[in-house]
């Protein structure tokens, strides 16, 4: 049976060292003159559209302006992200990620893509910076641009990765937060949770993860789990 895998990016594939939030803060400052606009805004497990929406509302940007403002914000964010990725320290790929990506990409029965809250252009920069963009040559999947709601992002990702092939496939979502788990289940996918973010494995298990691992270092086991 074919398996469709959707990867979360932040704290699942990689940790940027805080480049994403730094770049968002700088973009917001450039556009609206507000420093540290995201100070009270939760980032973890959320989509960039929802994160920006919260900040925009908190600083008085009317809802009716949001579609246009989100596009403007994205244009301001991308160059800041490119700079910030080089500027911050402490960024890294998560353990085992390269081996798992390599093993899955060698299998004809697996289609890999992204299921991430990142804006597509932001996600692409992060993958390229850490040298794993080659595993996602068409950047197929679901992104923060698609919706503020993570379950809808995953739904769009599945639709694109199926690529018109409606036949049954095993669906696997890999992520580091309870939101990834919920979005997986909302779409009938197996939720593989990995505790490389701020949520320990126990908490991810309690959130309903079908399997919660400390990390992906045991790539052979991870491949077995993913492929069923």
Answer yes or no whether residue 48 interacts with Mg ion by CB under 5 A: no
- Give 147 or 169: the residue with its C-beta nearer to Mg ion: 147
- If one asks whether residue 11 binds Mg ion (CB under 5 A), the answer comes out as yes
d(CA 135, CA 64): 38
Comparing CA positions, the residue from 124, 173, 157 lying closest to residue 8 is 173
Question: Rounded to 5 degrees, what are φ and ψ at 173?
Answer: -110, 130
Number of residues that bind Mg ion (CB under 5 A): 4
Q: Is 54 in the site for Mg ion (CB under 5 A)?
A: no
The span from the CA of 171 to the CA of 124, in Å, is: 22
Judged by CB under 5 A, does residue 176 bind Mg ion?
Answer: yes
- Is 145 a binding residue for Mg ion by CB under 5 A? The answer is no
CB of 225 to Mg ion, least distance (A): 19
User: What is the CB neighbour count within 10 angstroms for residue 200?
Assistant: 12
Interface residue with Mg ion among 4, 8, 16, 113 (CB under 5 A) is 8
Stretch of residues binding Mg ion (CB under 5 A), selected from 4-12, 15-23, 51-59, 134-142? 4-12
Assess 10 for contact with Mg ion (CB under 5 A). yes
Count Cβ atoms within 10 A of the Cβ of residue 2 and give its class: 0-12 exposed, 13-18 middle, 19 or more buried: middle
Q: Give me the residues that bind Mg ion (CB under 5 A), please.
A: 8, 10-11, 176
């Amino acid at each position: 049976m074919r398996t469709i895998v959707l990867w979360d990016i932040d704290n699942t594939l990689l940790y940027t060292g805080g480049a994403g939030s730094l770049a968002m803060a700088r973009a917001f400052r450039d556009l609206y003159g507000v420093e540290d606009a995201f100070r009270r805004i939760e980032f973890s497990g959320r989509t960039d559209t929802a994160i920006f929406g919260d900040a925009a509302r908190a600083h008085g940007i009317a809802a009716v302006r949001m579609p246009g403002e989100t596009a403007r914000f994205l244009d301001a964010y991308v160059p800041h992200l490119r700079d910030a990725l080089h500027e911050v320290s402490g960024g890294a790929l998560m353990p085992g990620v390269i081996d798992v990506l390599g093993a899955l990409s060698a299998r004809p029965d697996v289609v890999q893509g992204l299921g991430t809250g990142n804006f597509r252009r932001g996600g692409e920069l992060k993958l390229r910076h850490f040298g794993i963009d080659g595993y996602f040559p068409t950047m197929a999947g679901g992104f923060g641009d698609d919706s503020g709601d993570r379950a809808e992002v995953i739904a769009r990702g599945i639709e694109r990765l199926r690529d018109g092939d409606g036949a049954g496939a095993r669906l696997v979502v890999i992520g580091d937060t309870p939101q990834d788990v919920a979005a997986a289940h909302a779409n009938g996918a197996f939720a593989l949770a990995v505790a490389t973010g701020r949520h320990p494995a126990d908490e991810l298990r309690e959130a309903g993860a079908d399997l919660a691992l400390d990390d992906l270092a045991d790539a052979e086991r991870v491949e077995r789990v993913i492929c069923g």
